[in-house]
Amino acid sequence: MPVLTATDYAAPFLLSNRHLNTVFPTLFRRIAPALYQRERIPTPDNDFLDLDFSRTGSRSAVIILHGLEGNSTRVYVTGMVHIFNDSGFDTVSMNFRGCSGESNKALRFYHSGETGDLQTVIDHISPHYDHIHLVGFSLGGNVMLKYVGEKGTSIPKIVKSAVAVSVPVDLLDSSTELEKRHNAIYRMRFIRSLGEKLTEKAKAYPNDISLQGFSAIRTFREFDDRYTAPLHGFRDALDYWRQSSSVFYLQGISIPTLLINALDDPFLGKGCYPFDAASANPNFHLETPENGGHVGFVTFSEKYYWSEKRAWQFIRHHR
- Active site members: 138, 265, 294
Longest CA span, the chain:
55
Report the DSSP beta bridge partners of residue 62. Answer: 91, 133
Nearest CA-CA partner of 122 in 148, 159, 89: 159
CA distances from 269 to 129, 168, 217, 260, 274 (A): 38, 8, 22, 14, 11
Nearest CA-CA partner of 56 in 13, 87, 32: 87
How many other C-beta atoms are found inside a 10 Å radius of the C-beta of residue 263?
Answer: 13
Return d(Cα 186, Cα 113) in angstroms, integer: 21
User: Strand runs (DSSP E) across 125-260, as ranges?
Assistant: 131-137, 159-165, 257-260
Burial of 33 (0-12, 13-18, 19+ CB in 10 A): exposed
User: Strand runs (DSSP E) across the chain, as ranges?
Assistant: 37-42, 48-54, 60-65, 90-95, 131-137, 159-165, 257-260, 284-287
Return d(Cα 89, Cα 83) in angstroms, integer: 9
